[in-house]
Structure 1
Amino acid sequence: MSRLMEQAIEKIRQLPESEQDALASIVLQEIESERRWEELFARPESSDLLSRMADQALTEAKAGRATPLDLDDR
């Protein structure tokens, strides 16, 4: 286990059980979400779909139908 994970777990142990359960639920959901994304991207049709989506985005940007992303505007 990484040092950072050990630090996080030590801090979590100091919290009330209900907060520990809430954090554990978030972590487990995130792990499952990552597993699902990896599974989806591993499919052969994913590459074709992503390529078509990228082409569509480029076409829309060239046609002036895209808005630049402003990371400072939050």
Structure 2
Amino acid sequence: MKAWAEIEAAIKQFPENDIRQLAGWIQNYLNEKWDRQIEEDLAAGKLDALIAKAEADIATNKVRNIDEIIEKS
């Protein structure tokens, strides 16, 4: 895509600090987009089955400490 090549070429001309600021902005943008998607999915009930499964696992003590999971991987 021509536009992408132009953007990439322009970014390569930026000072490193500007590139880092751009990267931070992009990450914040993606984080906000992710948060909105999760909120929309939650409101639409798309996460209900996962939440119910997690609650059932907690109620029956079928959960493990995250540190235990990490240590075994």
TM-score between the two structures when normalised by the length of structure 1: 0.52
- Compute the RMSD of aligned alpha carbons: 2.7
Query: Deviations along 1:48-71, whole A, 9 cap, x unmatched?
Result: 431232112321x2x6x63387xx
Displacement, 1:47? 2.8
Find the residue that maps to 2:27 and give its secondary structure: helix
Q: Report sequence identity in percent.
A: 15
Tell me which residue corresponds to 2:38. Answer: 37
The number of aligned residues is 52
Which protein has the bigger helix share? 2
Q: What are the ranges of 5 or more consecutive residues in structure 1 without an aligned counterpart?
A: 1-14, 70-74
Tell me which residue corresponds to 1:50. Answer: 51
Q: What are the ranges of 5 or more consecutive residues in structure 2 without an aligned counterpart?
A: 1-15, 68-73
TM-score between the two structures when normalised by the length of structure 2: 0.52
4+ residue stretches of structure 1 with deviation over 2 A?
Answer: 44-49, 65-69
